Structure 1
């Protein structure tokens, strides 16, 4: 009984029938056929909040199915740059090559995909070119800290370079990229992503090639971590609500 009551409560507290009619023209005296002029007149986008990492906006005068289509486009069809090939020359850490390559592939890369071309499938050139590839290098070696105290047990004091972060992925320009992208700081979007932990004597020597792709091919190319939408209904009261009826509403009318 509790489960049924919970389900009914959730239904009663949400907006139903958010989409348009499946068969326009079935209501006498009401024209609900699609009209481009009316759509352009009533539709607008209001930006609520926007910063470097997030954006929130309202789409007013649009069907929920179209709003969901925008969400799916953001997830799957907006191109980005991501690590596609990982050349591991030395990995003496406890992280296996396959796991490390997977972690590197999911690190978001800060680069404008509009400035690069899609790489042709089956291309024999492993190095890529300046128009379709970004080259990154990760070269870190852990050693003991000679200045550490004898009684210390803190790895941050005992070892040097024992925490490998995404900020250690350095951009290596290909061709004329150093001149073309001189004003662009190409590299990981966030520098504090932990990739591996090392101990003295362990090291990583890795070269990565980033290419242009879309989320439909692989999740690493998806430009957003979360793309969601919620309904912003327009509630109209057809009559004055007073007295006890006012207390029965999910909100209070002043």
Structure 2
């Protein structure tokens, strides 16, 4: 007997994760053999090879633009909702949760950036201990030429097996200097109380870090692309007359999996698209109360039309002109389940989430623009796939 073909309505129902008053339903994936009677979800070598030949292996060996083209052919979509320099929001539609989570983890832990790794303190007479000051400096996000950062190589450190450590070179180390001394401002008013006016260099900021290019770094980190703190007003320390800080800082290339200071994102998260279905009419005062159960703008109020009131079985008979509740913007919902607390709404609304619609929010620390980060994550995943392909080829050779 030929496998049954489910209707579009049934397929849409399977996409929705049910949000009930105290439980969540329809969570697991169901695309495996035997779950749906009469349907074939079995794994076959021929079918797997066909799909891989047409999509997967094409995707991992072509450019990013071609990857997106292939994904679109497979009902994959990307929708941007917000695209600012430091924050972006976009939707990935038609993906499995494992792929979406792979992008999230890559964004946080596997995109290379630069940060202060070694601090050589020549003089520190401030009240902040050396190790605390070094920690504060390491967490300052830096920016510079992306081309230059990609040109830089990894700094090879000594291993327990006895491997030798690389020395600082122009291609693996960026040097910053911090040389600040506090002294009294002779021109300050006698009754001045603000230490920033009473003293010179009373506050040490990130903008006091000076970049010193060496070798080929002068070709990449020039003009607006020099190595500098993303936010120049980050407070490093407070000084008083007679106190000084003199140190040399070595920046190296790293990834967030090694230390959080190398992570290019402040946050990288996703949520599933909320799904709100009004099963039965909600009218009048109940409609206003229903709207208050959701964030502003999610539920709207509209008047019942004469056509709706005249239609048998619509639930609007005899209610022409009254206000009814309608779903305006499910995207902004937080799925709070507040409406399910009220008995009058329990049988009238059904809450859910679309299992293959992932709404990403990415906040860049400044080294990359927020929308570039996702493309960088695609590059990293592509490299992983290429390594996996080579390993598979060696395994089968």
RMSD: 2.9
State the partner residue of 2:110: 77
Deviations 1:153-180 (A, max 9, x none): 2112100111111111111112131233
State the partner residue of 1:119: 155
Q: SS state of the match for residue 150, structure 1?
A: coil
Q: SS state of the match for residue 231, structure 1?
A: strand
State the partner residue of 1:28: 37
State the partner residue of 1:99: 132
State the partner residue of 1:141: 181
Task: Say which structure is richer in helix.
Answer: 2
Question: What's the CA shift for 1:205?
Answer: 0.7
Question: What's the CA shift for 1:21?
Answer: 2.5
Question: What's the CA shift for 1:188?
Answer: 1.1
Question: What's the CA shift for 1:192?
Answer: 1.0
Higher Cα Rg, which structure: 2
State the partner residue of 2:210: 170
Q: Counterparts of 2:112 and 2:248 in 1: how far apart (Å)?
A: 22
Question: What's the CA shift for 1:236?
Answer: 6.2
Against the structure 1 CA distance between its residues 199 and 13, is the aligned structure 2 distance closer, same or farther, given a 3 Å change threshold?
A: farther
State the partner residue of 2:65: none
Q: SS state of the match for residue 230, structure 1?
A: strand
Q: Counterparts of 2:21 and 2:134 in 1: how far apart (Å)?
A: 48
State the partner residue of 1:52: 85
Task: Choose the corresponding residue for 2:231, options 178, 184, 190.
Answer: 190
5+ long unaligned stretches in structure 2: 1-18, 56-69, 159-163, 294-298, 300-324, 328-397
Against the structure 1 CA distance between its residues 151 and 59, is the aligned structure 2 distance closer, same or farther, given a 3 Å change threshold?
A: same
Q: SS state of the match for residue 12, structure 1?
A: coil
The answer to whether the 8 Å contact 2:117/2:250 transfers is yes
TM-score computed with the length of structure 1 as normaliser: 0.83
Deviations 1:130-166 (A, max 9, x none): 1111111111111111111111121121001111111
Task: Choose the corresponding residue for 1:130, options 155, 159, 170.
Answer: 170
Question: What's the CA shift for 1:74?
Answer: 0.9
Question: What's the CA shift for 1:53?
Answer: 1.1
State the partner residue of 1:89: 122
Against the structure 1 CA distance between its residues 30 and 145, is the aligned structure 2 distance closer, same or farther, given a 3 Å change threshold?
A: farther
Task: Choose the corresponding residue for 2:195, options 148, 155, 158.
Answer: 155
Structure 1 range deviating more: 178-187 or 189-198: 178-187
Task: Choose the corresponding residue for 1:228, options 249, 269, 273.
Answer: 269
Structure 1 range deviating more: 183-192 or 216-225: 183-192
Q: Counterparts of 1:242 and 1:233 in 2: how far apart (Å)?
A: 20
5+ long unaligned stretches in structure 1: 1-9
Give the length in aligned residue pairs: 241
